[in-house]
Amino acid sequence: MDMFTIILIFLLFSFSEHPEDLKLDKDLELPSSTSKGEYQETIKIVLSQKELRLNDKVMATVQGRQITGLANDDLENSSLFHGLKAFRIESEKPENGQEPPTHVLFLCDKSHSFQTINRVIKTAGLAGYPNFQFAVLEE
Amino acid sequence: MARLGRIRAQSEEDTELNMVPIMNMFMVLIPFLLMSASFYQIKAINTSVPVHADTYVDNPSNHEKEKITVVLQLKEKEIRISGLSETPNDLFLSDLKTVISRQSDSEASMDELVDFLRALKSRYPASDTLILIPDEEVLYREIVQTMDNARDYETERLFPNIVLSGSLG
């Protein structure tokens, strides 16, 4: 009985409104932050230590600071740009009947440099998504 | 005497709680809570990249109403802060420039940054925008840490609208 009570209290403290929405990979370590803002599940860009994904679809691989297929001078020819553009066109169709998303949820490994991140956020900006939500772990 | 003992034992038996329904309830609650449990809490920081805009404030009468945009350059060894006025005749506010030396993960430089931003905020309370320009070498976790410090101090809101920009040139 005592054991059950302890488990129950522990689980009550771990209770989350959306527990299964975001799954973090082993090669993705989010930075911690004091932010209390809630994220909204929308278009999701994941930049882990090994790959770049758009809504769980692999767009490019990451090797150190380099993202293959995402050259700084040719961002508009990248698969990420085309993927975002296609998503935007699709979401803006009137028959969808939903408000098109205005921002991108960005999950990025904390060890990446701004040089690497900047290419991703620039590409999203060029594709018509200049607003971001950076996913972080609550401190 | 023996009868008295039997009666006492019987009454003790009667007062014992039946734990089976409570245990059943726990057995139902625990799987439900396990499914809803989250062992890490994910939060979000709102930010944006620069977009072209043609908005200017005409002739603000005083600092109370005047809005400035803080420009924070996050470099490997220092933090450079400057202010941009939204009035066209006084675009660069020369008296708002400062340089804070920093080492990676240094709390002291962040404390100094917060003090400066708090002073700016008290001087221009209507301002809420900060442009963060990190160097290419700066790590993402350092960018998030700087955003945290620029956004608020305890319960005091500083510059919650943070625009992330690459350096020019």
Q: Does A37 touch chain B (CB under 8 A)?
A: yes
State the best of B49, B76, B151, B154 to mutate against chain A, taking most chain A CBs within 10 Å: B49
Q: Closest residue of B to A47, CA-based?
A: B140
Question: What is the tens place of the pLDDT at every residue in B101-156?
Answer: 887 667 788 888 999 999 888 888 888 899 999 999 999 999 999 999 999 888 88
Q: Which helix (DSSP H) or strand (DSSP E) does residue B129 occupy?
A: strand B129-134
| Separation between Cα atoms, residue B42 and residue A33, nearest integer Å | 10
Chain A / chain B CB contacts < 8 angstroms: 142
| Separation between Cα atoms, residue B8 and residue B14, nearest integer Å | 10
Q: B140 and A114: CB-CB below 8 Å?
A: yes
Q: Which of B19, B48, B166 is the closest to A130 by Cβ?
A: B48
Q: Which of B135, B139, B145 is the closest to A111 by Cβ?
A: B139
Give residue A105's pLDDT. 93
Q: B140 and A108: CB-CB below 8 Å?
A: yes
Residues contacting residue B140 through CB under 8 Å, at least 6 positions apart:
A31, A108, A109, A110, A111, A112, A113, A114, A117
The predicted model gives B87-109 an average pLDDT of 71
Q: Does A121 touch chain B (CB under 8 A)?
A: yes
Give residue B138's pLDDT. 92
Q: Does B20 touch chain A (CB under 8 A)?
A: no
Q: A8 and B30: CB-CB below 8 Å?
A: yes
Tokens of B58: 């005409």
What burial class does residue B81 get, using C-beta atoms within 10 Å of its C-beta: 0-12 exposed, 13-18 middle, 19+ buried? Answer: buried
| Separation between Cα atoms, residue B77 and residue B114, nearest integer Å | 17
Higher pLDDT, B6 or B120: B120
Residues contacting residue A38 through CB under 8 Å, at least 6 positions apart:
B43, B44
Tokens of A39: 């994220």
Beta-ladder partners of A107: A46
Averaged pLDDT of chain A: 86
Structure-derived torsion over alpha carbons of residues A89, A50, A78, B143, reported in degrees to the nearest 10: 80
Q: Does B11 touch chain A (CB under 8 A)?
A: no
